[in-house]
Structures are given as C-alpha cells and as structure tokens.
Amino acid sequence: MSGPKAQVVHSIPTYSLTRLAREWLAEDTPNFDPAGVCVGSEEVEAKLLCKTPHTVLAGSPFFTAVFTEVGCTVDWMYQEGAVIVTAVVRGPARCLLLGERPALNCLSRASGIATRCSQLQLTAKSAGWHGEVAGTRKTTPGFRLVEKYAMLVGGTSMHRQDLSGMVMLKDNHVWGISKLISSRNKILTAELSSTHFHISPLQELHVAARDLKNEFPSLQIEASGGVTPENVASYFSSHVDIISLGCITQGCPVSDFSLKVQKPGANNSLPVVKVHIT
C-alpha cells in the first residue's frame, strides 16, 4: 500500500468522526431498542465479509467510529485500498447490533465510490493521460465528508469541497455575465488559489481547450458534463487538466458487505482469500 494513501485516514478530525457516528446511530435508533433486550450484553465476535469482487475498501475510520460509540472494538485485517477485505468486531451483542447497520451503510457506500474511482484512475493511466480525474459537489446531503474521503482512497481528486474552494465558471455563470473577459479579469484579481474554466459539450472541448491553453498557458482547463466510465477516454487531451464526473457519487454501485456473528463452538473459519494492495 502506498504511503500517501495510507495517510488519508489522518485527514479526518476525530471530532468529525464522533459527530457523524452519533448522528447515524441516533437516526437508526432514536429511542427504544427492543431487539437489544432479546440478545442481551454477552460478549460476541462478528466477522466482516466483503461479497462484491474487486472491491476497494474505503470508510474504515467511519465504520470504526460507529462501533467505538457503542462500546465495541474493530480489528482490521487489511488496510484501506485492499481488494476483498475482512475485519473483526468485538463487543456486547446488543451494542454490536446497534452499530451494525449504520456502519455497514457507510462502508458499502464509501467502498463503492472508492472502487469506481480506482477503475477510472486505471483507465486514465492505461491511456497515458496525466491529468486529474475528479469528483464533484454532487454528493449526498450530510454525507459529503465520507464521499470525498472515499474519492481520495480511490486515488482521484476530491475537487472542490464546497463553493468556497475555487472560482469556476460554468454555463449558468457565463449566461449571467455580459462579457466573459470581464469575468476572467474579476477572477484574476480575486487572489484565490485557482482559476478554472469549465467547458462542455464534448464537441467543443478539444478545440476550445487548445485555444485557451495557447493564449493562457497557466490556465487550468476542466472538462465536465455527461462524462461516464464508458466515455471518459474521449475526454482525454493534453490540453485538459481535469475531468470531473458526477457519476462518481451519483448512481454509483455500492459494495456488498455483511457482518456475521460467530457462533460459539462452531467452525467459523473463513476461506483463504488472496488480496491485492493498491
């Protein structure tokens, strides 16, 4: 596993993990837990299994935070970036089951996004394109931190965390401005960290990107709009710096995980699984 990817976990403040875990648990169990009365507080062990082939694990700090809040521990067998992963969760039965669904929901969503990002990065690398594959702000309300984190684990750029991150002119901005050149001047004098021009549709992209780069070599050109895993290669160009895809988070398949409580005295051994570390 590469060094930079291993450090992604350190980008999440612990108080953010705690806040989100408490919100998810409160949403799933806002008052009584009648099932918890039935199972009691006997110490149990559950194994996390990934049932979707070629899944890239992402979301482990959020998964762990949920179980920490309910008094359980999590031991990861593989780090994020691993394909086909397992972990072991230990704690009182009722507490483990309290955290099961929120934790699995988070892990499944984040791992699905990371897997798609990893596949997109592979497509770009195979084509010899050296720009950035990026996500967008088309994230699930209240879940942006998890989804942006999953993008990093999958090897893509988060792009803007929010509107404050950079100035980027899109079609609706241009429509509301009488002259594009005046907008460019406003951006250049705003002393922000980056200047972007957003170009779509595809048939105009390559010519416009080339012309803009010739006139303004330091300008960053981003292509977006209708980009999918199937057609992303048609956007690759030496004049395009960034390709952003809303489908990284919208309509992205989730990875299927299950958490299985181990029965005392039963043969609970797992099959040997070969894993690949990205």
pLDDT tens, position by position, for the chain (278 residues)? 344 455 788 889 999 999 999 999 999 999 999 989 888 999 999 999 898 888 999 999 999 999 999 999 999 987 676 555 579 999 999 999 999 999 999 999 999 999 999 999 999 999 999 999 999 999 999 999 999 999 999 999 998 887 777 776 666 666 666 555 554 554 443 333 345 555 556 777 888 889 988 998 888 888 888 899 999 999 999 999 999 999 999 999 999 999 999 887 665 554 433 333 33
Check 5, 47, 51, 138 and give the catalytic one.
138
Q: Identify whether the C-beta of residue 88 lies closer than 8 Å to the C-beta of residue 63.
A: no
Bond preceding residue 13 cis, omega within 30 of 0: no
Assigned token pair, 228: 């999918």
Q: Which fold has domain 120-248?
A: TIM Barrel (3.20.20)
Q: What is the pLDDT of residue 4?
A: 44
Q: What is the pLDDT of residue 81?
A: 63
Say if domain 3-113+253-261 classifies as CATH 3.90.1170.20.
yes
Is residue 138 flagged as an active site residue?
A: yes
DSSP string, 168-212: EE-HHHHHT-S-HHHHHHHHHTTT-S-EEEEE-SHHHHHHHHHHH
Question: Could you tell me the pTM of the whole model?
Answer: 0.81
Assigned token pair, 157: 């750029």
CA separation for the pair 97, 76 (Å, rounded): 18
| CATH code 3.90.1170.20 region(s) in the chain | 3-113+253-261
| CATH code 3.20.20.70 region(s) in the chain | 120-248
CA separation for the pair 1, 18 (Å, rounded): 27
Q: What is the pLDDT of residue 160?
A: 81
